[in-house]
A and B are shown apart, each in its own frame.
Chain A
Amino acid sequence: MSDFRADQRLLKWLDERYGIAPLVEFLREKEVPVGGHPMVWYFLGGATLFFFTVQIMSGVMLLMYYQPGEQTAYESIRYIVTKVPFGWLVRSVHCWSAHLMITSLVIHMFSTMMLKSYRPPRELTWVTGFVLFSLTLGFGFSGYLLPWNELAFFATSVGTDSVKSLPLIGEWLLQVLRGGPDVTINTLYRFFALHVCVLPITLVGLVTVHLLLIQRQGMAPPIGEHQVARGIRFFPNFVLRDLLLWLTCLAALVTLALLLPFGPGIPGFDWELGQKADPLAPAYPGIKPEWYFLWIYQLLKEFPPHLFGLEGPQLCLLVVTGLMATWALIPWLDRHARHNEPSPAFSDFGVGAIFFLLFLMLKAWDIGGNAQNSPDGLPDPAAVARTCAWILIPVAAATTMLRVAVFRHRWFVLSGAEVLHVALHGLGGVSYLAAGAIAAALAAFVIGITLLRADGIRPGEGGRR
């Protein structure tokens, strides 16, 4: 009982000086709505935050030995992994936690998208979340240059090279990012500053804003409802659940880090140190970026050298920017959700986006390419496209059945267009972009007709609209 009194005394002492009683009262009263959505979606942001905390702690530990520099960056990581007691574990935890953070962040983002929690008044929560997502990708990108190995060198060459297609500031930005015209050790110094200083500070600041916005507005009720009747106490009920999840995350993280210290060995998901970066060595066969960049990597391969008067990579960058901007602006594009009405088209847009990314990822892995038996030792692109289509189409069919049976979805134009795109390209042998254009045109046609019908245009009235 004396502890209890000490506890009370401390609270009283603080309250007398800082007036914290309202804050304590607020925490006592705070509730989390239940019954609206499955609870599981409420925890993914917390899981992402947990992995980010692990990143900061393991990152600080790596900093105690890591030395950026031409003769030291690669060597110090090798020293950490081979000599420092448990150094391999710290690096393994840092790498695993990075991948798990991005995984939980992506699931968190897609769940928010599917539940339409971005609709008013929560548009800025979505936008800050989108910026946090971009910063996290920046973390991944700047982080994998730091070991100064071959993969790092080429990944950074490609990743930074694409900014040169930006109009006006492209050349300046390229030089600023690289610290010179080429990727050199100067690039590593700049990325080091970004990775351990600029990005963490920005991310912590923005996470605070993101959390304050959520705190201010509470969880979004399901679409069509204004209030959820039931709630559970935030403290201690929800917090204990959160802690339990974090404990599970930690257990999973440590298990993975122990059993697979260099990743599962899938291209884009492993972090063997490999050879030291050598600017005078050619890129090695089978080089791939991290899994969350694979879709851009594959898209770069799909663009022809020239199209519509632009160079392929420029147009590709334009398409990726357009897709990202659309994603960021969803709260304003989804007009049904803005009026708190069901918006099946945007649910379908989310599913279509997943199919789109999944297919590019499968292709990037060269599944079914049979590189060993081909005459030039390279995977056969047509065979890869066919195999990946044969994987994606059943997955899409199963997803659609699940959506019909469980979620009562009735709108499949966009996801259907993506499946058509995949089928035309993989099974019909049409080029990726041409197949995409056909599918997009068909989808636009169907959506146009649907919109016209929904607007209820009667004959004779059409001209005035």
Chain B
Amino acid sequence: MAEATPARYTRRRVLDLLLGASVVAWLASVFYPVVRYLKPLPLAGPSGPARLTRADTTKLERDGFAIVPVGRERVLVFEDPSGALRALDARCTHEGCTVRYVARDALIWCACHNGRFDLEGRVLAGPPPRPLVRHNVVREEDGSITVSVTRA
């Protein structure tokens, strides 16, 4: 090993190293802005409780469920067989399709890959790996409905 040491730091080798490093630095200075540019900014906007619009309430009465935006989340609001309001995350934990409430079988169903959840959001059958997150829903005294998301 000792004989090899002098040959290690030839002028050519040092110049090659410097050249290589400057190429890497140059590439980084080109790609860093591109990578930053491609990633979108986080969305700003209200994330507090949302009140159901008249259209949402109509949907809720007509179909038994409505999907409402609360901040960045999509929330499934439905009336269970006992008449109580419930709210679950509307995004299937499998591949992110939007689920629906099937009143006849009292379950939550995702049409994309046939995932099924109970009314608490627990997986009953199919491929979803996690339960749906439960959110809070309140019927106010004036009859309006407010949904607020719980952070998982």
Footprint of B on A, CB under 8 Å? 154, 157-158, 161-162, 172, 175-176, 178-182, 186, 279-287, 297, 300-306, 311-313, 376, 378
Q: Are B97 and A158 in contact (CB under 8 A)?
A: yes
Q: Are B111 and A286 in contact (CB under 8 A)?
A: yes
Interface string of B90-101 (1 = CB under 8 A from A): 100011111110
In the complex, what residue of chain B is closest to A280 when comparing beta carbons? Answer: B67
Of A282, A285, A297, A302, the residue contacting B99 (CB under 8 A) is A282
Q: Are B74 and A154 in contact (CB under 8 A)?
A: no
Q: Are A304 and B43 in contact (CB under 8 A)?
A: no
Q: Are A282 and B67 in contact (CB under 8 A)?
A: yes
Q: Bound state CA distance, A284 and B112, in angstroms?
A: 8
Q: Bound state CA distance, A162 and B67, in angstroms?
A: 23
Q: Are A279 and B39 in contact (CB under 8 A)?
A: no
Of A154, A186, A302, A311, the residue contacting B40 (CB under 8 A) is A186
Q: Are A157 and B126 in contact (CB under 8 A)?
A: no
Of B38, B95, B102, B114, the residue contacting A162 (CB under 8 A) is B95
Does B72 count as interface, using CB distance less than 8 angstroms? Answer: yes
Give the shortest distance, in Å, between B62 (CB) and chain A (any CB): 13
Given contacts A172-B39, A283-B98, A300-B94, 15 further A-B contacts (CB under 8 A): A154-B112, A157-B95, A157-B96, A182-B72, A279-B74, A280-B67, A280-B68, A282-B67, A282-B90, A282-B98, A282-B100, A283-B97, A283-B111, A286-B111, A300-B95
Q: Bound state CA distance, A175 and B41, in angstroms?
A: 9
Give the shortest distance, in Å, between B112 (CB) and chain A (any CB): 5
Does B69 count as interface, using CB distance less than 8 angstroms? Answer: yes
Does B149 count as interface, using CB distance less than 8 angstroms? Answer: no
**Residue among B67, B68, B95, B126 with the highest chain A CB neighbour number at 10 A:** B95
Quick one: given A180-B40, A284-B111, A313-B94, are A301 and B127 in contact (CB under 8 Å)?
A: yes
Contacts of B38 in A (CB 8 A): 176
Of A162, A180, A186, A282, the residue contacting B111 (CB under 8 A) is A282
Interface string of B69-106 (1 = CB under 8 A from A): 10010101000000000000010001111111010110
Contacts of A280 in B (CB 8 A): 67-69, 74, 98
Q: Is the interface of B mostly helix, strand, loop or mixed?
A: loop
Q: Are B43 and A312 in contact (CB under 8 A)?
A: no
Closest 3 CB pairs of A and B: A282-B100, A161-B96, A311-B129
Contacts of A376 in B (CB 8 A): 102, 104-105
Of A158, A282, A305, the residue contacting B96 (CB under 8 A) is A158
Q: Are A303 and B127 in contact (CB under 8 A)?
A: yes
Q: Are B112 and A283 in contact (CB under 8 A)?
A: yes
Question: Count the B residues whose beta carbon is within 8 Å of the partner chain — how many?
Answer: 32
Q: Bound state CA distance, A176 and B34, in angstroms?
A: 11
In the complex, what residue of chain B is closest to A315 when comparing beta carbons? Answer: B129
Does B110 count as interface, using CB distance less than 8 angstroms? Answer: yes
Give the shortest distance, in Å, between B88 (CB) and chain A (any CB): 12
The residues in B between 108 and 152 inclusive whose CB is less than 8 angstroms from any CB of A are 110-114, 123, 126-130
The residues in B between 51 and 69 inclusive whose CB is less than 8 angstroms from any CB of A are 67-69
Q: Bound state CA distance, A181 and B129, in angstroms?
A: 20
Footprint of A on B, CB under 8 Å? 38-40, 43, 67-69, 72, 74, 76, 90, 94-100, 102, 104-105, 110-114, 123, 126-130
21 A-B pairs (CB sep. < 8 Å): A158-B96, A161-B96, A162-B95, A179-B40, A181-B43, A186-B40, A279-B74, A280-B68, A280-B69, A282-B76, A282-B111, A283-B97, A285-B111, A287-B111, A304-B127, A305-B123, A305-B128, A311-B129, A313-B94, A376-B104, A378-B114
Q: Are A305 and B40 in contact (CB under 8 A)?
A: no
Give the shortest distance, in Å, between A281 (CB) and chain B (any CB): 7
Q: Are B127 and A312 in contact (CB under 8 A)?
A: yes
Contacts of B98 in A (CB 8 A): 154, 157, 279-283
Quick one: given A282-B67, A305-B128, A313-B127, are A300 and B96 in contact (CB under 8 Å)?
A: no
In the complex, what residue of chain A is closest to B127 when comparing beta carbons? Answer: A312
Q: Are B126 and A281 in contact (CB under 8 A)?
A: no
Give the shortest distance, in Å, between B16 (CB) and chain A (any CB): 29
Q: Are A300 and B111 in contact (CB under 8 A)?
A: no
Q: Bound state CA distance, A163 and B129, in angstroms?
A: 16
Of B43, B102, B114, B123, the residue contacting A180 (CB under 8 A) is B43
**Residue among A281, A303, A305 with the highest chain B CB neighbour number at 10 A:** A305
In the complex, what residue of chain B is closest to A375 when comparing beta carbons? Answer: B105
In the complex, what residue of chain B is closest to A381 when comparing beta carbons? Answer: B114
Q: Are A300 and B113 in contact (CB under 8 A)?
A: yes
Of B76, B94, B112, B129, the residue contacting A287 (CB under 8 A) is B112
In the complex, what residue of chain B is closest to A172 when comparing beta carbons? Answer: B39
In the complex, what residue of chain B is closest to A304 when comparing beta carbons? Answer: B127
Contacts of B104 in A (CB 8 A): 376
Contacts of A172 in B (CB 8 A): 39
Give the shortest distance, in Å, between A175 (CB) and chain B (any CB): 5
Contacts of B69 in A (CB 8 A): 279-280
Q: Are A175 and B39 in contact (CB under 8 A)?
A: yes
Q: Are B67 and A176 in contact (CB under 8 A)?
A: no
Q: Are B129 and A313 in contact (CB under 8 A)?
A: yes
Q: Are A157 and B72 in contact (CB under 8 A)?
A: no
Q: Are A313 and B126 in contact (CB under 8 A)?
A: no
